[in-house]
Amino acid sequence: MAMMRLRREDPRIVGPYRLHRRLGAGGMGVVYLGSDRRGQRVALKLIRAELAEDAEFRTRFAREISAASKIRGGCTARVVGSDIEADRPWLATAYVPGPSLYKRVGEEGPLPWPEAARIGAALADGLVKVHEAGVVHRDLKPSNILLSPKGPRIIDFGIAWSRGASTLTHVGTAVGSPGFLAPEQVRGAAVTPATDVFAFGATLAYALTGDSPFGSGASSEVMLYRVVHEEPDLSAVPPPLAPLVRACLAKEPMERPGAAALHERLTELAARGAALGGARSRAGAGAPPQASPQHADAQRAGAQRAGAPHVPPRRPHGQAATAPMPRPEAGAPVRERQQTPAPGRPAGPRDRQHTPVPGRPSGARRRLLRQRVVVFVTVTVGVALAIAAAQGCENRSNQGRGAGASPSPSASLGGVSVDGAQQSAAPFAAVAHGTADAGLGPAVGAVPSVDWPNRTYSDPAGGPAIRLRDGHSTAEGAQIALSTVLPARYRDAPAALVVLRRAEGAVLVDLVELFGFSGDTPVLLASRASVADPQAAAAWRIENGALIREERVSQTGAGSSTRYTVRGDGSMEESWPGAGISGGTGG
């Protein structure tokens, strides 16, 4: 998703969220990338100041919040906060990384039909969830679909309709995007879930061809006329998906298939496409050729002409009757069936999937399993013994306190390292849950020497372990580098603050980690992921019991500060006492 720097007029804090970048702007307002005090990223939509006084617009915005909040499941961006009574109402949803379908097709071209089928199956399942919540989106289009690593997400319910809600439109007025509007929307008739199915078909056609099925470049009036009176141009849609897309674009709502039927059919097509791709790969590696899809179609067509019955697709229990899913056109590949090879027939690629590899010892798999069990038991016993020993130390320390002995902070520090990843040990948890009167401070005396650029760190954002070599991550994907190490003191014991910086596209994230020591071994005490300003230079220091990050943009001189403190429960808290200093024009 494209990001832009904050402008001079943009706010820096809205509600409990700090704003970092612009994600986009539209007729309703501006969408920002923000984060809360726990470091969770959000997409925050802030309506325009000139629209805030419009009572009808506030009603429309409140309806968007209501519609988006009703939907359950991972098909949409989850609503995490809103304020309809603010001077400028806003809505915050979980941030969804990834480009829109519109941008993906625009930059990389039309999608292969198996990939389009896979994305379409997930979107159809999302529409089922949307319609089950009693909501009709009314503006489904490629730019309102985000392709996240966890699957496509439907966003922007700004003109959504739900049962019992006023449409806020008049007869003959179309609200939505030309080329993706259903005919009933153009005519000003009532919208139903079938309205979203029409837009779904147009969106799927765009993903497969790079253009609307009703053309582009014409005026809105011409586009709306084509939607109502002309048939869509599907000549460039691949044959396996053309019948399904044509059924979605039927002029009459009752002739369109339901979202559940679309999900079922597209799931089958996606599986077929994956199987065909695998078959082609195996054939290229020397596998025997298979019968062509055209030959299979000809056989099926002959069986139908001979009087074989046509079995309609299964409809989920309780779903209203809708138009049946069409059969594939001539030339479309049919689904392969798994069957036992007839005597004398060479085994096909599917038949050979479970054939043992020649020359491999039959007991190799059993020996490997035994080795894994031995390693697992050994590691488990070692961890249990370490924890038991640390708890014994803590009990002795507590007994000493009861007898009047002074507490020993170092006696409560312990940790277990598994494959180099630091884990907070249970003994330290007892200290961390106490009061935070000691806090952080500059180092006093020597701090154990650690090879910080060449070790493994845990990810405060919940990702896999981070392995550094010479200060840089070794894994593919987001680039992570060691940013700074500050010797420190925490609860009267030696400590170190380590900051890693991760580049996630145009977004920079600082991974702040506080370590104590058990002997010379670092023990992770607290950590936090925090979004940073990519345009600013950052300086770190320890001050007044907290870690301070100062960010300043060299071109404008503007900057902000972020304060990190360790709470009594052992978590790290982020606050922004100096947001927007020096005029607040940076971003």
Residues comprising the binding site?
45
Q: What is d(CA 363, CA 368) in angstroms, rounded to the nearest whole number?
A: 9
Length of the chain: 587
Q: Report whether 313 contacts 325 (CB < 8 A).
A: yes
What number of H helices and E strands is found in the chain?
Answer: 11, 24
Nearest one of 178, 160, 23 to 99, comparing CA atoms: 23
510's enclosing H/E stretch is: strand 507-518
Measure the CA–CA gap between 349 and 364, rounded to whole angstroms: 24
Q: Which DSSP string do the residues of 80-142 spell out, in sequence order?
A: EEEESSSSS-EEEEE---S-BHHHHHHHH-SPPHHHHHHHHHHHHHHHHHHHHTTEE-S---G
Place of tokens 């404008």: 556
Instruction: For residue 316, give the nearest of 140, 447, 128, 141 by alpha carbon.
Output: 128
Residue 494, number of CB atoms within 10 A of its CB: 20
Secondary structure string (H, E, C) spanning 285-324: CCCCCCCCHHHHHHHHHHHHHCCCCCCCCCCCCCCCCCCC
Dihedral sign of CA atoms 178, 184, 189, 190 in order: negative
Is 36 part of the annotated catalytic residue set?
A: no
Locate 260 and state its tokens: 């559940």
**CA-based R_g, the chain, Å:** 30
Binding residues for ATP: 45
Rounded CA-CA distance 495/441 in Å is 9
Amino acid making up residue 264: E
Q: Which residues contact 404 (CB under 8 A, 6 or more apart)?
A: none
- Indicate which residue of 10, 125, 139, 196 is catalytic: 139
Local structure of 50: helix, strand or coil:
helix
Distance CA 439, CA 139 (A): 52
Q: Is 269:326 a contact under the CB 8 Å cutoff?
A: no
What is the Cα–Cα distance from 498 to 505, expressed in whole angstroms?
22
Give the helix/strand (H/E) hosting 45. strand 41-47
> Which H/E stretch holds residue 480?
strand 479-490
In the block, which residue shows the tokens 């990001």?
3
Which of 486, 510, 495 lies closest to 431 in space, CA to CA?
495
Q: What is the full DSSP assignment across 184-252? A: HHHHT----HHHHHHHHHHHHHHHHHSS-TT-SSS-HHHHHHHHHHS----TTS-TTTHHHHHHHT-SS
Contact 114, 273 (CB under 8 A): yes
Catalytic site positions: 139
